Structure 1
């Protein structure tokens, strides 16, 4: 997959959004002063790059 956005990305995102899909990059949720995995709810320190419970990683922004 290319790292640079293409002109079709916006059109594809609009298509997915109109059908109920989330097109935003997945990110950590915050709980108190910890990062919380959006998949399993595991809590991690603020410098975590991967969930040690389920292996989830935040998506990079295009």
Structure 2
């Protein structure tokens, strides 16, 4: 039986929304911030542009 959270996530994902926890994206050999698209070295732990952190 699906929980309410699972049903809500399914509802959102069917409409094009991301339901997993945000994480760094990768662009070639750089990390890319999912919030502002700023590029950083692979060792970055926080976005130096907008301050986002996973």
TM-score (norm 2): 0.67
Give the SS at the match of 1:27. Answer: coil
Higher relative contact order (CA 8 A, sep 6+): 1
Unaligned runs of 5+ residues in structure 1 are: 1-6
Mapped pair 1:26 → 2:10 = no
Mapped pair 1:56 → 2:48 = no
TM-score (norm 1): 0.61
Which 4+ stretches in 1 moved above 6 angstroms? Answer: none
Aligned to 1:43: 39
| Number of matched pairs | 52
